[in-house]
Structure 1
Amino acid sequence: MKNELTAGEASGLVGKSAKHFRATLRQEKASGNLDPEGAWQNPPKPNGIWTIRRGYLIAFAAEQGWTVGES
């Protein structure tokens, strides 16, 4: 089981499209609510690939009211 997931992999676990998931991450980052140790972009620019830690995904999904499925 991977500890770090791409936004595409994580979106499948929460039942959202990758586009919706990335947009939510961008919105949370802009509002200052995103833990930079939990989710980040590599490279760190607007079109960078989003990565999220599995443990943070569970907490983030709960805040959004999403359910995390099995992988």
Structure 2
Amino acid sequence: MAKVKFSSKIDEGTLKKLRSYAKQNNRNISDVLSEAVSDHLDRVSVRPVFRSAVDRVLEDNDELLKRLAK
């Protein structure tokens, strides 16, 4: 996929750590950021199949969950 240039702001201390990490690992900052953002989005994204399964379990066990919450 083509890389697109963009601008953003980051905490000064975090940028210092990022630069240090990239240098120690012989990587450029852009690649480190791309990997970190991609990994983060993969972790926080809920797959639709999983979401529907959770919704079904919650619905099927609604009464039990209400009693357990008391």
TM-score by length of 2: 0.37
Q: Which is strand-richer, 1 or 2?
A: 1
Which of 1 and 2 has higher RCO (CA within 8 Å, sep 6+)?
Answer: 1
TM-score by length of 1: 0.36
The structure number with the bigger radius of gyration is 2
Q: Which is helix-richer, 1 or 2?
A: 2
